[in-house]
């Protein structure tokens, strides 16, 4: 039987990268802003609001912007979530997790600590249950132009749980509107495709439930 290969390799082209079974809504960033002026994309991708796709607009305070190509809508444990990249004007980027409450409104339930410095960004890659345990992993590269660290968290009971990291990789080039690589499915194996800094070649990372490592 031929290998079945699925690539989700560009959230500029495809929107948010989430597996088909979990993607329930299509949130978008809206209300462009020039207050932060990081300008790492070909076209501006800094916003003050997020449209949940269900009639709700989430607007940030004066100190914060949404910074990225697209948020990700997904479902886990019977609840709808939105994963967004936000940037504090002084402390840089961080992931924010919004969950739909019993009234049908999305509210912030958890967030990671900001990177710690203005104009430091993270490139959100995908949300997918990599190990089949019912809890989705969120994958991103922290400072893809400088530190180049791939990080993996799991969403459990409305909270981020750190799972692993891998250094020396990237999924974005300054001035591009694309997120490179992404989720790769070959038959029963799921991996994360990235560019290795030392070789400038594609590599794939795999998560076995305990370790995030390079696929030989």
- pLDDT score of 149 more than 80: yes
Alpha carbons 110 and 116: distance in angstroms, whole number: 17
Q: What is the mean pLDDT of residues 135-153?
A: 97
Kindly list the domain boundaries of the chain, sorted by start residue.
5-214
Confidence of residue 146 (pLDDT cuts 50, 70, 90): very high
6's CB contacts (< 8 A; 6+ apart) are: 183, 184, 185
Q: What is the average pLDDT value for the chain, to the nearest integer?
A: 90
Nearest CA among 127, 16, 17, 125 for reference residue 76: 127
- pTM confidence score: 0.90
Please answer whether residues 38 and 121 qualify as being in contact, where contact means their C-beta atoms are separated by less than 8 angstroms.
Answer: yes
Nearest CA among 28, 19, 12 for reference residue 192: 19
Residue 4 to residues 72, 151, 187, 189, Cα–Cα distance (Å): 24, 26, 5, 10
Q: What is the mean pLDDT of residues 15-29?
A: 64
Alpha carbons 170 and 215: distance in angstroms, whole number: 16
* pLDDT tens readout for residues 78-135: 999 999 999 999 999 999 999 999 999 999 999 999 999 999 999 999 999 999 999 9
Q: What is the mean pLDDT of residues 51-78?
A: 96
* pLDDT tens readout for residues 159-206: 999 999 999 999 999 999 999 999 999 888 899 999 999 999 999 999
Confidence of residue 27 (pLDDT cuts 50, 70, 90): very high
Q: Using the Cα atoms of residue 93, residue 195, residue 41 and residue 69 in order, give the sign of their dihedral.
A: negative
Per-state percent for the chain, helix, strand, coil, to nearest 5: 0, 50, 50
Please answer whether residues 163 and 55 qualify as being in contact, where contact means their C-beta atoms are separated by less than 8 angstroms.
Answer: no
Q: Residue 143 in 3-state DSSP?
A: coil
Q: Residue 209 in 3-state DSSP?
A: coil
């Amino acid at each position: 039987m031929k290998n079945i290969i699925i690539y989700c390799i560009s959230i500029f082209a495809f929107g948010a990268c989430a597996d088909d079974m979990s993607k329930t809504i299509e949130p978008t960033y809206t209300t462009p802003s020039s207050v932060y002026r990081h300008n790492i994309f070909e076209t501006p991708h800094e916003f003050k609001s997020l449209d949940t796709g269900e009639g709700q607009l989430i607007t940030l305070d004066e100190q914060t912007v949404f910074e990225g190509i697209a948020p990700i809508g997904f479902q886990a444990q019977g609840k709808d979530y939105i994963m967004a990249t936000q940037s504090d004007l002084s402390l840089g980027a961080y992931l924010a997790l919004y969950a739909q409450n019993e009234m049908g409104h999305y509210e912030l339930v958890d967030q990671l600590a900001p990177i710690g410095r203005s104009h430091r960004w993270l490139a959100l890659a995908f949300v997918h249950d990599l190990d089949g345990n019912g809890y989705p992993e969120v994958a991103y590269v922290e400072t893809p132009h400088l530190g180049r660290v791939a990080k993996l968290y799991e969403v459990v009971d409305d909270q981020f749980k750190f799972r692993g990291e891998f250094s020396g990789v990237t999924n974005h080039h300054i001035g591009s509107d694309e997120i490179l690589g992404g989720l790769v499915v070959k038959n029963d194996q799921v991996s994360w495709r990235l560019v290795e800094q030392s070789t400038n070649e594609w590599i794939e990372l795999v998560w076995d439930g305990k370790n995030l490592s390079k696929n030989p």
